[in-house]
Structure 1
Amino acid sequence: MTPAESHDRQLPDLAGGPVQRFDYPAVGRVTAGVPCVEAVPEEVERLGARRALLFVSASLERRTGIAEALGRALGARYAGMVASQSAHITDAIVLEAAGRLRGCDADLAVVVGGGALVDTVKMAVLAVTHEVREASQLAPLRLSFEGEGGPKSPCRLEPRLRQLVVPTTLTGAEWSDLTGSAERPEAPKRYYSAQRLGALSVVYDPWLAVHTPLPLWLSSGMRAVDHAVEGICSVAPAALMEAAGVGALRLLGQALPRCREAPEDVAARAACQRGAWLAATGMGRVRVGASHGLGHLLAGLAGVPHGLTSALLLPSVLRFNRAVNADRQALCAEALGAEDAADAVASLVERLGLRQPLADLRLSAERLRPVAEAAPGHFLVRSNPRPIRQAADAMAILEDALRALPPPA
C-alpha cells in the first residue's frame, strides 16, 4: 500500500474518533505537596523574576497571613501585595490590577486564591500587554463568536509577564487561557483569550487548601468533576483527556466526600488537588458542552456560583445526552464506581451536601427562562454532544435539574 492509497482508508474508531488534535497547555512546571512558602520562592528564583507582585484573596490573608509569610520568603524579589475582595470581575477591577502591575514594574504575578482572582490577573496581564488603560480599549480584544470553528481571539501579542499560581480552590482556572470581565457586577461577562495567558507555574499546597471554606471547596470540586466528565464526553475527544479525566474522577469521587467528613484531612485535600489537575488537562483544548455553557449563563444571568452550576446541571445534561454518547458516559460511570454516569454524579452531589444550597437559591423555571433563550447561541452550548437548537431543548435540561432539588430550607 502506498502512502497515497493509505489516505483513502478510514481509521478505526480510536478513543472516540480517528482524528485528534491536542494543544498542550503552556504550564512549565507543577509542584504538588510542598508548602507554598517553600515552593514559591524557589520557583520565582528558577524563573528569573526580579519583581514578583503578589495577588492574594483578602479573606485568605486574614485567616492565614500567607501574604506576609510569602513576602518575607521572597525577600528582594517581592514587589508588594494586592488583596482582592471581590468575586466579581469588573473592568474597573481589571484596570486597577493592571495599574498595580505597571506601577511596580512587575515581571511575574504570584496569585494565591481561587478562580476569580486567577481570571482577574489574566485580564490584567492582557491589559498590560495591549496597553489598555480605559475600559473602552478592551472591546477590540474580545473573543469573536462569528462563523464556524469556535471562538476566535484577536490577541496576538506575547504576554509581557506570566503567572505563578497557588490555587486555593479546584476550578482549574490556572490551566485555561480563557478569561472575562463585565462592565459591572450584574452585567454579562465578555470573554477574552490569548496564548500563554494561563499560569506558567502551578503550586498545589494542601496545607493552605485546608483554610478554604468547605462549601467553596466542595462546590469547586464539582466544577472539576464537570471538567473531567465533559472532557471525556466531548464531541472532539482526545486520548490524553480521556485517561486524565478517568483518573480525575477516581480521585475526586473518593476524596471530595472524605473532605466533607474530615475537613482538616490534608491528604484528602491533596488528592482533590491532583484530581483537579488531571481534570483540567483539556480546559480550552477539548470542546465541552451544555453543563459548562448553561453554567456560564446561569452564573451571569441568575447569579449562581460556578461550582453550584455544575452540581445543578451536570446530571441533567448527562441524561439529555445519553442517547448519543452512552459509550463515553460509561467511562465516567465506571470511574465513579457506578453503572450510570448521571446517577453517579447526582449521588456525589448528594453526598457533598450541595443540593440544599441549590434549593435555597429559590430558582424557578421563570427565572431560568432567559438562560434557556440565550443557550442556543452560546459557544459552549453549541458544542454539546446532542444539539441544542432551540430554547425548549435547554429548558428541558433546566426543568429536569429543578425537579431534582429539595424544597428550600
Structure 2
Amino acid sequence: MAAQGETYRPAFPSKTKPHISTGIPFPAAAAHHVTNTFHASKVYIIVSNSISKTDNFTQLKKVLGDKIVGTRYGIKPHSPWDDLVETTNDIQKTGADLIITLGAGSLTDGVKVITFALANNVSTIDDLAKLAVEAKTPDLKPPQIPVINIPTSLSGGEYSPGAGATDTRTNHKAGFYHPSMGADLIILDPALSVSTPERIWLSTGIRAVDHCVEGLCSTDPKAGPESDKGFIEGLKLLVPNLLLTKKNWDAEEPRLREMMGVIEATKGLNMRVPMGGSHGIGHQLGPLGVGHGETSCILLPVVLKYNYEHGDEKVKKLQQKVLDLLWVKKLSKRCWIARV
C-alpha cells in the first residue's frame, strides 16, 4: 500500500517483484514500507562507506530507530566472497527480518547473493562456492528475507535476479542466479542521487545506454521487436536526460527519467538478449578494478566501429537503426537529443 504522496507500483507489469517507490523522500518511503508492507521489526542495513558519513544515512537511521539490529559499512567493488560470507554470518546472528541497502553497485549485487546464502545455510567460502551457477548444485532454496534497495547510481542491478561476485581465492567473478533473487522494493529518490559523484552517475548511465545499444544491435534470435521496445524506450529516456543532468547537476526531473530509462532497458535484458563485445570485455576488466560504467564509456564506441567495419549488412543495418533513433528531432514530449 502506498504512503500519502507516493507512487507505488510493480517495476514490470508481468512480475510480482520488485515494486518501485517514487514521489516521496527515501527515508519516509523506507519507514512506511518497513512497517506497513513488510511488517519488519529487525532491520539490517548495508550502506556504502561514503554515504555512511552523510546526513542521508543519518536520516535513515532516525526514521528506523531501534528497529535497526545491525549495519554493514561497505562491500568492496565486485562483491568479494570474503565480504559476502562475513556479512551473511553477521546477519544470521542478528536474526534480521529485512535488509535495506543504501548505495549501489557491489551492495546491490552483494545483497542478492547474501540472501541466497542465508537461505542455504552458508557460513564459509566453500559453502558459498556451491551456490555459484557453475557449481550446478541441485535443490537450492530460494531467498526468504525481503530486501529494500535504495540505489544511488544507474547501474540497474537491482532489477535483475542474477548477480556476479568475485572469488577472492582465484579473482574469478562467478555468477549466481535464482528467479527469486533480488529486491522486493526499490526506492527511487532523485534528490538522493545528487550526492553521487558525477563520474559514477554518468558512467553508470552510459552502462545502461550500452545495454540498449548492444541489445538493439544484437544478431541473436532472442532479439526482436519485443526486446527492442524496452531498449528503444530506455535509450529515449537515458540519452537526452543524461545530457540535461550534465548541464544542470541539481535538476531532479531528468534524474527520475533516467531511473525510468534503466527500468525500460531492463525489460529488454529480461528477455535474455545476449550483449556484445563491450559487455564481454568489460566483464573481464571488472575484477581487475575497472568500473563497468567506465568500460562502457570507452569500449562501446570502439566495439561498434569494429563490428561495422567487419560485420555483414545485417550488422550495419542494426547499427543504422540506433543511429536513426539518436538523431530524430524529438525523442519524447519533453526530451530533445540533437539540440540539448
Contact 2:131 2:140 (8 Å CA) reproduced = no
Partner of 2:249: 263
- Paired AA for residue 293 in structure 1: G
After superposition, residues 279-298 of structure 1 pair within 5 angstroms as 279-289=265-275, 290-298=277-285
Partner of 1:169: 153
The structure-2 alpha-carbon separation of the partners of 1:46 and 1:315, relative to structure 1 and needing over 3 Å to count, comes to: same
1:241 and 2:227 correspond: yes
Deviations 1:140-194 (A, max 9, x none): 221139xxxxxx7756312121321111000101011221222339812122111
TM-score by length of 1: 0.70
Contact 2:74 2:107 (8 Å CA) reproduced = yes
Contact 2:227 2:273 (8 Å CA) reproduced = no
Contact 1:31 1:39 (8 Å CA) reproduced = yes
Whose Rg is larger?
A: 1
Match of 2:89 among 80, 93, 99: 99
Q: CA–CA distance in 1 between the matches of 2:285 and 2:245?
A: 27
The structure-2 alpha-carbon separation of the partners of 1:294 and 1:86, relative to structure 1 and needing over 3 Å to count, comes to: same
Query: How many correspondences in the alignment?
Result: 312
Give 1:41 deviation, angstroms: 1.7
1:314 and 2:300 correspond: yes
Match of 1:120 among 92, 99, 110: 110
Give 1:226 deviation, angstroms: 1.2
After superposition, residues 340-351 of structure 1 pair within 5 angstroms as none
Give 1:269 deviation, angstroms: 1.8
Deviations 1:352-380 (A, max 9, x none): xxxxxxxxxxxxxxxxxxxxxxxxxxxxx
Partner of 1:210: 194
What is the DSSP-based 3-state SS (H/G/I as helix, E as strand, rest coil) of the residue aligned with 2:96? coil
With 199-208 and 87-96 compared, the bigger mean Cα shift is at: 87-96
Give 1:117 deviation, angstroms: 0.9
1:179 and 2:163 correspond: yes
- Paired AA for residue 334 in structure 1: D
Q: CA–CA distance in 2 between the matches of 1:34 and 1:96?
A: 34
Of all paired residues, the percent bearing the same amino acid is 29
TM-score by length of 2: 0.83
With 183-192 and 133-142 compared, the bigger mean Cα shift is at: 183-192
The structure-2 alpha-carbon separation of the partners of 1:102 and 1:177, relative to structure 1 and needing over 3 Å to count, comes to: same
Partner of 1:193: 177
Deviations 1:320-367 (A, max 9, x none): 44433344334422332269xxxxxxx99xxxxxxxxxxxxxxxxxxx
The structure-2 alpha-carbon separation of the partners of 1:34 and 1:186, relative to structure 1 and needing over 3 Å to count, comes to: farther
- Paired AA for residue 212 in structure 1: T
Match of 1:41 among 31, 38, 51: 31
Contact 1:112 1:167 (8 Å CA) reproduced = yes
The structure-2 alpha-carbon separation of the partners of 1:24 and 1:100, relative to structure 1 and needing over 3 Å to count, comes to: farther
The structure-2 alpha-carbon separation of the partners of 1:23 and 1:270, relative to structure 1 and needing over 3 Å to count, comes to: closer
The structure-2 alpha-carbon separation of the partners of 1:201 and 1:331, relative to structure 1 and needing over 3 Å to count, comes to: farther
1:55 and 2:55 correspond: no
Give 1:227 deviation, angstroms: 1.5
Pairwise CA RMSD: 2.7
Q: Which runs of 5+ in 2 are unaligned?
A: 1-11, 330-336
What is the DSSP-based 3-state SS (H/G/I as helix, E as strand, rest coil) of the residue aligned with 2:208? helix
Q: CA–CA distance in 2 between the matches of 1:227 and 1:54?
A: 29
Match of 1:337 among 320, 324, 327: 327
Contact 2:70 2:91 (8 Å CA) reproduced = no
Give 1:131 deviation, angstroms: 0.6
1:328 and 2:314 correspond: no
Q: CA–CA distance in 1 between the matches of 2:76 and 2:166?
A: 13
Partner of 2:69: 79
The structure-2 alpha-carbon separation of the partners of 1:155 and 1:181, relative to structure 1 and needing over 3 Å to count, comes to: farther
Match of 1:221 among 205, 222, 232: 205
What is the DSSP-based 3-state SS (H/G/I as helix, E as strand, rest coil) of the residue aligned with 1:164? strand
Match of 1:134 among 124, 135, 138: 124
1:109 and 2:99 correspond: yes
Partner of 1:278: 264
Deviations 1:268-300 (A, max 9, x none): 222221212222223354222222121101223
The structure-2 alpha-carbon separation of the partners of 1:47 and 1:240, relative to structure 1 and needing over 3 Å to count, comes to: farther
Partner of 2:6: none
Contact 2:116 2:141 (8 Å CA) reproduced = no
Q: CA–CA distance in 1 between the matches of 2:226 and 2:42?
A: 36
With 99-108 and 155-164 compared, the bigger mean Cα shift is at: 155-164
Contact 2:229 2:268 (8 Å CA) reproduced = no
Q: CA–CA distance in 2 between the matches of 1:303 and 1:188?
A: 12
Q: Which runs of 5+ in 1 are unaligned?
A: 1-21, 146-151, 340-346, 349-409
Give 1:96 deviation, angstroms: 1.3
Contact 1:88 1:185 (8 Å CA) reproduced = no
Q: CA–CA distance in 1 between the matches of 2:257 and 2:157?
A: 18
Contact 2:245 2:255 (8 Å CA) reproduced = yes
What is the DSSP-based 3-state SS (H/G/I as helix, E as strand, rest coil) of the residue aligned with 1:97? helix
1:144 and 2:134 correspond: yes
